[in-house]
A and B are shown apart, each in its own frame.
Chain A
Amino acid sequence: MGRDLPVIKVDTVTELEHAVVEGVDISGHWNRMFSDRSTTDFPTEAMDWVTGLAGGESMRDCYQCGKCVPVCPVQHVGDYGPRKLNAKILRGNNLIDDPDLWLCTTCGNCYRVCPKEVNPLKIMPAIREQAVLEGKVPDELSDAFRNLQKSGNPMGESPRKRIDWIAEAGVDVPIISQLDRAVDVLWYVSDYTSYHPRGKDAARAMARVMTALGVDFAILGPEERSDGDSARLAGESGLFELLAEQNIKAFEKYEFKRLVVMDPHAYNAFKNHYPRLGWQGEVLHYTQFLAPLVDRLTFRSSVDLDVTYHDPCYLGRNNGEYDAPRKLLQAIPGIRLAEMPHTKANGYCCGGGGGGMWLDGFVAEHVSERLSERRVREAVATVGMDGSGVLSVACPYEPSRFEDAVKSTGNDGKLAVRDIIELIDQAMQPPAT
């Protein structure tokens, strides 16, 4: 240590306990500065351990200001909160056996407002990785990990069934391995868009819209694997690397100018994390790809709907894209766009990120309501309950989460959930007669 700091030696205080000067009592008061404070009663091992992990370093910087408290979506529905994580670690709990470890959705809203840049997007995966290595993974999550490892998608479906949605697309969807030539756009369809019934609707809509625009595109088909980003954030970095290696191998086999993705988590992975694993290229979320082409979209019908838009955490807050989805929505004839109170950088998380998609039952035991349910109530309050209101989304995690939440909050029939691409596709069709 190079500098001499002033030291207050509590046990050798020589001040007078009572001092009266010229008849005036100027005695001080014993206060907490001179007594043991709760955090000094605990050993520092837990904090040392967390901040010793690659990614865990910033946890020590927290000075308990509490700015994270009102913006954490999970704190709204339960006892969890980012500041409480710091307090727990200060008190010797390294979170490995604490359910709180799995409640963070890595939405990033606390990091956005943190004056000390304490970053749970790095801290939580770092601690979770240690829990994963010790085999302390909630069962639901380990099932998803197992499926991702075995089949390259969280549902455990056959890789070959990744293209089953094509049959009903109504347009030709070329598979790049069968083309034997370079393409402009390699369209990364992603897991839920390929396999989930509601995701497939978005995939078919996207195929039709790109075809109408004359885009030179192809998909990887059965060679496509999950982008792995949610597994990474849930602590399985090895699984992320395995999936990334498989995708990169496929990317490198073919020639294409840019990668267009449906899933913001894939966007985040390809843009921000695949480069360190050896792949770099232009990546666009589909809303970013389509927004500049909006004048070329030929709309044939008006949809006449009150629409609000849910910013996906990994497109909006964590990657800064708020305008492209809104530009597309505003171009659709008949749409009246209304913003929810939690919007753009302060968008409210759906609960699906950071592994939350595969922890639904586990999380439900620790919260008063699902984040998706809270978000749906906000949407209903924004676009009304007369049935013409739409919660529009741009992430394939959302339709199933929000449609379930519409039902579980008793709003069945009052609010529709539609991917933006579905709304575009609908308006490009001739009016229903």
Chain B
Amino acid sequence: MDYVVLLKQVPDLAEDLEIDSAGTGLDREWMSFVASEWDEYALEEALHLRDATGGTVTCLALGVQAGDVDELLATCLARGADRVVRVGSFEQSPDSHSAAGAFAAALDGIPHDLILTGVQAIDDLDGQVGPLLATRRDLPHVSVVTHIAVAADGKTATAHQEYAGGVVGEFELDLPAVLGVQTSREAPRYAPVSRVRQLMKTATIEKADGGGGGSGSGLTIEAMAVPESGATAEMITGNPVAIADRIAAILAERGIGAGAPR
């Protein structure tokens, strides 16, 4: 079984984020980067699956200049990945469409039975990369995955998808497939800095062409701002009946809903 994990770095939220002077992005002066939490779960899960079924784990990360992609990939090797590949070259972290396009192109040259990535990232809460990649490669896809098992014949996998209220859906997928991982069976293992530094000097980081990356999402950020706290919010307190009455009154006041006066 050949497992492929897609990873990226995101700004470290230990630092308070600030908007840059242009007002369209984050100020990078104090920004440090860390591996995206959910991508780390995806890698941890892939390592467990490989140890159970045999095979390889290949890690892919986009060649973004901000942060340190090579360190991210060396960390993957330190944790136990077999192969790491830097995909394409980007000045800044590209949008989900371009990322999915680059990964899709790179997969042409990389064996893959099961592709795992984080279900989301702090800069991609919609979790679009997994579905977009699956669409481009015409593969089955499940998001918000909390459990993965590969069938003994290696042709299908079972994935659990988490819903609100503790409900879990069980899916069977034909392989190859793409999974958006919500959590791993164990906390991501510690990658010793001693090992990472050794690997930074000795390991081979392969390179893959990310294709053109496609046209992107077509969206442009016009302005970025910290949400301003307004003074108009009203906290409704009291017993449920009183709260319901107040909500009904507000809706009626604003002319919303069936009971609204004409």
Q: Report which A residues bind B (CB closer than 8 A).
A: 129, 132-133, 135, 137, 139, 142, 145-146, 149-151, 156-160, 222, 236-239, 241-242
Q: Are A145 and B16 in contact (CB under 8 A)?
A: no
A241's partner among B12, B195, B197 (CB-CB below 8 A) is: B197
Bound-complex Cα distance A156 to B34 (A): 13
CB neighbours of A222 from chain B (8 A): 30
Within 8 Å CB of B194, what residues of A? 129, 132-133, 236-239
Asked if A238 and B196 make an inter-chain contact with CB atoms under 8 angstroms apart, the answer reads yes
Q: How far is the CA of A115 from the CA of B32 in the complex (A)?
A: 49
List chain A residues, Cβ under 8 A from B195.
Answer: 133, 238
Q: Find chain A residues with CB under 8 A from B12 CB.
A: 150-151
Which residues of B (173-194) have their CB < 8 Å from a CB of A? 187, 189-190, 192-194
Question: Which residues of the other chain, A, contact B14 by a CB distance below 8 angstroms?
Answer: 150-151, 156-159
Contact A238 B193 (CB under 8 A): yes
**A133-B194 Cα distance, complex, nearest whole Å:** 7
How far is B14's CA from A159's CA once the two chains are assembled, in angstroms? 8
The yes or no answer to B245 lying at the interface (CB within 8 A) is no
Could you list 10 A-B pairs, sorted by A, with CB under 8 Å?
A: A129-B194, A132-B192, A137-B192, A145-B193, A149-B193, A150-B12, A151-B12, A159-B14, A159-B15, A238-B194
Whether B16 lies near A242 (C-beta < 8 A) is: no
What secondary structure prevails in chain B residues at the interface with A?
Answer: loop
Nearest CB of A to B193, in Å: 4
How many Å lie between the Cα of A129 and that of B196 in the bound state?
13
- Complex Cα spacing A142 to B12, Å: 19
| B198 contacts chain A at the CB level, 8 A cutoff | yes
Q: B183-216 vs A: 1/0 string, CB under 8 Å?
A: 0000101101111111000000000000000000
Within the complex, the shortest CB–CB distance from B70 to chain A, in Å, comes to 15
Q: Are A135 and B189 in contact (CB under 8 A)?
A: yes
Interface contact A135-B193, CB-CB below 8 Å: no
Residues in B neighbouring A145, C-beta threshold 8 A = 190, 192-193
Chain B residues with CB below 8 A from A156, complex form: 14
**A133: which B residues are within 8 A, CB to CB?**
192, 194-195
**In the complex, what's the smallest C-beta–C-beta distance from A233 to chain B, in angstroms?**
14
Residue of B whose beta carbon sits closest to that of A142: B190
Interfacial chain A residues near B192, Cβ < 8 Å: 132-133, 135, 137, 145, 236, 238-239
A159 / chain B contacts, CB cutoff of 8 Å: 14-15
Distance (whole angstroms) from the CB of A386 to the closest CB of chain B: 45
Closest chain B residue to A141 by CB distance?
B190
For A241, list chain B residues within 8 Å (CB): 193, 197
Q: A133-B195, A238-B195 are in contact. Are A158 and B15 (CB under 8 A)?
A: yes
Residues of B within 8 A of A158 (CB): 14-16
B residues near A129, Cβ cutoff 8 Å = 194
How far is A158 from B190 in the complex, measured between Cα atoms in Å? 20
Asked if A137 and B190 sit within 8 Å, CB to CB, the answer is yes
Residue pair A146, B196 in contact (C-beta under 8 Å): no
Cα A160 to Cα B30 with chains together (Å): 9
